[in-house]
Amino acid sequence: SIVKNTVKNNNIFSGRPSQSFPVSAFVSEEMSSSALRKSSVNEKLSSLRGGKSDINFALSVIPTIAVTLSFTAVMTTLLRPLDSAVAQGTKLVFAGAVAGIISRSFCAPLEMVSTVMMCKGDECISMVDELERTWKEEGLRGMFKGNGANCLKVAPSRGSQFFFYELLKKKLVLMGWGIGATASLNAGSRLLAGGLAGMAAACIVYPLEVVKTMLTLYPGQCRTIPQAFKLILKNGGVAGLYRGLPPTLIAMFPYVGFEFMVYETMKNRFETAFGPAGVAALLLIGAISGAAAQASAHPLDVIRRRMQMQNMGKGDDEKEKSPKQFSNMFTGLYRVAKDEGWHVLFHGLGPACFEKVPSTAIGYFIYEAMKVTLMVSSV
């Protein structure tokens, strides 16, 4: 009996493990636990590497910010006492450029996700999901990818828009066209001046718009502005720098026109009723004008960005496919609506408005402050 019990209790050492001590389950559990610990360690190491990369990126942009602020302060001091016609025009361009850079940089992550959602359509689940994916895969740098090119574009673009807008308003006043009952320009004349100003500015800076889109969508292929230019020229030649310009020009008329019209009309009516607009009023009016502008031209904006990406597939990565080919804006609108659904033409409208509303509000507030500082007036 003793021998029998001893053999029974020591079956673990035989070829038949006892059911009361499952060796395979024990080994499997230990291996699983080891794998989990290893995975946890890898995640922590990856997190540390990502954190270090984010810190390096933040430190790398500090000199650029310092130089930009110093340049802005010096130029403001030099331009302020000047009063010639050329100086007044330069002040408008400078004020618009400063306002554009600050406002767009403040909202760069939303600008980035809006661009991605417009170009990829239903591949993107939601704005929050795309932001989380970018943060996880690319860190802080990914949230601001394309912002350098965007600032290079928006500085002359926004400056040119304000310059041409003020110039056209003065021409309309001299012609006596579009004068309202209050002896100032009516909403229609402001829409016309703003629309034409937007189209003129777009022609000047359009290649940088294409570069910004490339940096946003293909960060693996082009991490710098020169690399983006090289990739565009390689795939589409010089014409690639202007692909999508026609829908851009058409979209710019309502986009910029509505923005200027809504902003100045609401601002004038507010000041007539309540006196000079304060900070809160300027921010609110700017936000409303930005939302109106974005909603008025968003489908054309989607097609414009899709056309920018034609023939721009990565090539080395088969998973990345070139966007569908559109011969013109109207074909693009029809094919996207037919093949992907009308809703895709409004993909990215949410983040675009989220970006446009604060961006426009901040931009107009800074522009008004710069006008006061530089002692420049407008019609």
- Rounded mean pLDDT, 128-141: 84
- Rounded mean pLDDT, 360-373: 93
Reported confidence tier of residue 45, pLDDT bands at 50, 70, 90: very low
Question: What are 325-342's pLDDT values in tens digits?
Answer: 677 777 888 888 888 888
Look at 101-110, 146-155, 175-184, 299-308 and tell me which has the smallest mean pLDDT. Answer: 175-184
- Rounded mean pLDDT, 146-169: 89
Integer Cα distance of 235 and 218 in angstroms: 13
* CA 321 to centroid of chain Cα atoms: 22
Reported confidence tier of residue 27, pLDDT bands at 50, 70, 90: very low
Name 143's Cβ contacts closer than 8 Å, sequence gap at least 6.
Answer: 108, 109, 112, 131, 134, 135
- Checking if the pLDDT of 221 tops 60, the result is yes
Closest to 145 in 3D by CA, of 161, 158, 159, 130: 130
Q: Is 158 helix (H, G, I), strand (E, B) or coil?
A: helix
* pLDDT at 163 (0 to 100): 94
Domain chopping of the chain, boundaries: 82-313+323-374
- Rounded mean pLDDT, 236-241: 85
* Lookup result for tokens 């828009």: 161
* pLDDT at 37 (0 to 100): 53
- Checking if the pLDDT of 61 tops 70, the result is yes
Integer Cα distance of 121 and 2 in angstroms: 76
- Rounded mean pLDDT, 215-231: 82
The answer, as to whether pTM is greater than 0.75, is no
State how far the alpha carbon of 366 is from the alpha carbons of 3, 232, 286, 356, in Å. 94, 34, 11, 15
Name 118's Cβ contacts closer than 8 Å, sequence gap at least 6.
Answer: 301, 302, 305, 306, 347, 348, 352
**DSSP-assigned beta bridge partners for residue 179:** 185
Q: How many CB atoms lie within 10 A of CB 169?
A: 23
What is the token pair recorded at 190? 């402001």
User: Which helix or strand (DSSP H or E) is residue 44 part of?
Assistant: helix 23-79
223 DSSP assignment: S
* pLDDT at 18 (0 to 100): 47
- Rounded mean pLDDT, 202-228: 83
Instruction: Judge contact between 87 and 79, C-beta under 8 A.
Output: yes
Return the CATH superfamily for domain 82-313+323-374. Answer: Mitochondrial carrier domain (1.50.40.10)
**DSSP-assigned beta bridge partners for residue 206:** none
Dihedral, CA of residue 34, residue 37, residue 42 and residue 45, to nearest 10 = -140
236 DSSP assignment: H
Helices (H) and strands (E) counted in the chain, each on its own, are 12, 0
Look at 57-66, 149-158, 160-169, 349-358 and tell me which has the smallest mean pLDDT. Answer: 349-358
- Rounded mean pLDDT, 48-77: 81
Reported confidence tier of residue 167, pLDDT bands at 50, 70, 90: very high
- Rounded mean pLDDT, 283-292: 91
* Lookup result for tokens 């829409």: 191
User: DSSP labels for 83-97?
Assistant: -SHHHHHHHHHHHHH
- Checking if the pLDDT of 78 tops 70, the result is yes
Amino acid identity of residue 130, one-letter, is: E
Rounded percentage of the chain residues whose pLDDT exceeds 90: 26
Instruction: Judge contact between 247 and 307, C-beta under 8 A.
Output: yes
**DSSP-assigned beta bridge partners for residue 185:** 179
Which residue did the predictor score with more confidence, 347 or 205? 205
Closest to 244 in 3D by CA, of 287, 285, 211, 289: 211
* pLDDT at 110 (0 to 100): 82
* pLDDT at 160 (0 to 100): 93
- Checking if the pLDDT of 43 tops 60, the result is no
Integer Cα distance of 127 and 353 in angstroms: 12
Which residue did the predictor score with more confidence, 51 or 277? 277
- Strand ranges for the chain from DSSP E: none
